[in-house]
Amino acid sequence: HHLPSILVPISRHVFKPMLHAGYTKVQAAFVVFLISAFFHEYLVSVPLRMLKLWAFTAMLAQVPLAYLTPRVLRGVYGNAVVWLALILGQPIAILMYCHDYYIMHVFAAAAAARAPATQI
């Protein structure tokens, strides 16, 4: 069973050493997921020059969703929740970044331009 090339270093340097150290697969997978969420947020935050944690929070929200969905919903309903999270989750997170970027950069610059000049 082959991993995507991006996951090989994470598996080699985080997941497997944690298993050898006595952690469970669930604990090791959660740490790998946490690291992945951090880097997703980092890759969005640096170019936009703002740290909002939307990507980080959205990725971590998948953990309880993955745990609860099969326990609460069965069959087609559980599948529908997974697909809705995939189809709507990323666009909503992107819209939240766009909104925040606009407020922080565009709206703030326009408000500063309208502000009266102060005398020194």
Give residue-wise pLDDT tens across range 46-103.
Answer: 998 899 999 899 888 888 888 889 899 888 998 899 889 889 988 898 899 999 999 9
pLDDT value of position 98: 92
User: What's CA 45's distance to the chain center, in Å?
Assistant: 11
Q: How many CA atoms lie within 13 A of 19 on its CB side?
A: 10
Asked whether residue 1 carries a pLDDT value surpassing 60, the answer given is no
pLDDT value of position 25: 92
Q: Which two tokens stand for residue 104?
A: 């922080």
Asked whether residue 22 carries a pLDDT value surpassing 90, the answer given is yes
Q: Which residues fall within 8 angstroms of residue 30, CB to CB, at 6 or more apart?
A: 63
Instruction: Please give the average per-residue pLDDT across 12-36, as a whole number.
Output: 91
- Across the chain, mean pLDDT equals 86
Instruction: Please give the average per-residue pLDDT across 22-36, as a whole number.
Output: 91
40: annotated active-site residue: yes
Given the residues 13, 40, 99, 105, select the one marked as catalytic.
40
pLDDT value of position 31: 92
- CA 18-42-8 angle, 5° bins: 40
Contact in structure between 14 and 32 (CB atoms under 8 Å): yes
pLDDT value of position 5: 65
87 vs 93: CA distance, rounded Å: 11
